[in-house]
Structure 1
Amino acid sequence: MNNEQTKSLIDTISLEEYVQKGKLPQCLPADAQITLEQAKAQADEVWSVEKEKLEVFSFDYKGCTVNMTFQMDGTYLFDSIDVWGEVGNSGGVATEKELESNSDLDSGPGTSKLATLETVESIQQFAEKVGMKLEWFEMGDERVCLMPSAVTLHYLKQQKNSWKLVKIAGAYRSVGEVRSSLSSIADAMN
């Protein structure tokens, strides 16, 4: 794979596949990988954290930014997705009617439909459809959904007691470690 293909390769990964598998590299074809050098060559932004020997590469797509973190020696660590796209024209959380009328809106990498994950209700419907059990943690104005893959989806409270997806954090630790950490944070906040 040449450097020009890196951003396109990430764009082929659907958000639905990502939240089920846990990490971007697990969603790539068997013969593909993304190295530190390839990520650096195509990233829209690059951050170096000298003290911790980390490099973070950001790739901007319609509706979201994909972040990949490597150690400076080239070891892949983890990834996350910042979601900033909106469905519909409401300027806030999409209504059910907007979600239905924009069901083909391509708002993220691959064949993803941001509407599939955008609200608490939509992720619950997705989980039911694929037979997945979700765990929820309340943290003030944030609700965090823990997936069986150890991925977390972070929803912020919006108007009228609705919730909107703002971040997807890929698996970095085991699901048990993430559950324990989220439980501790939720207990401390509530």
Structure 2
Amino acid sequence: MLKQTIAAQLDLLHYLERGAVHLAAGMSIPEEAACEQEADEQWRTGSGTVYTFDFDGWSLNLHFDPEKNFSHDTIDFFGHCDLPGFSDIAGPLQAASAFEGATHFDLGDEQVVLLPSSVTVHFRKEEGDVQVLTKIAGALLPHGALADYYRSMLQR
């Protein structure tokens, strides 16, 4: 049920505005027990457990802390997908111009767009220097902390 709801209701533009998949899909905060039953895979990290839900062209990762509380989410892309809003943000300039107040960071092999919602949109160079959408990371830290983190990456 969780996987079907996400697939049917997720709009990427709403996700970028609201900062989390469950908010964009009109759902309550994900619970680890529901994820455990439906996830395509799961793994433990030093900071908790990650549950992955695989879809056509993309995967959703829901992260939980050791106390089983929802932490954040990420979406990985594997080429084009048919999620609503995908074509609106398929390039770094499109993603940056879609939201007022977006900040663009050129990290060399990766372009990151930080949105006012604290969501980050990640692009990697492929053949011919084409930037390809590879990941969206939901809000994990406050906007200012994320901006400072990416600015520090530029100084390396």
Report whether the alignment pairs 1:75 with 2:69. Answer: yes
SS at match of 2:112: strand
Contact map agreement 1:59 1:65 (CA 8 A) in 2: yes
The percent identity for this pair of structures is 25
Query: Aligned equivalents of 1:125 and 1:144: distance in 2?
Result: 13
RMSD over aligned CA atoms reads 1.8
Contact map agreement 2:42 2:52 (CA 8 A) in 1: yes
**Where in structure 2 are the equivalents of 1:1-190 lying within 5 Å?**
5-11=1-7, 12-29=9-26, 32-49=28-45, 52=46, 54-86=48-80, 107-108=82-83, 112-127=84-99, 132-188=100-156
Unaligned stretches of 5+ residues in structure 2: none
Deviations 1:81-116 (A, max 9, x none): 101123xxxxxxxxxxxxxxxxxxx623xxx14212
Query: Aligned equivalents of 1:60 and 1:107: distance in 2?
Result: 14
Query: Aligned equivalents of 2:14 and 2:53: distance in 1?
Result: 18
What is the one-letter code of the residue matched to 2:54?
D
More strand by share: 2
Query: Aligned equivalents of 1:121 and 1:158: distance in 2?
Result: 16
Query: Aligned equivalents of 1:29 and 1:140: distance in 2?
Result: 36
Unaligned stretches of 5+ residues in structure 1: 87-105
Query: Aligned equivalents of 1:142 and 1:29: distance in 2?
Result: 31
What is the one-letter code of the residue matched to 1:157?
K
Query: Aligned equivalents of 1:125 and 1:175: distance in 2?
Result: 18
Query: TM-score of the superposition, structure 2-length normalised?
Result: 0.89
Query: TM-score of the superposition, structure 1-length normalised?
Result: 0.75
SS at match of 2:155: helix
What is the total number of aligned residue pairs between the two structures?
155
Contact map agreement 2:96 2:113 (CA 8 A) in 1: no
Change in 2 beyond 3 A, CA 1:29/1:75: same
Q: Which residue of 2 aligns with 1:92?
A: none
Deviations 1:21-41 (A, max 9, x none): 1112323436x3421000111
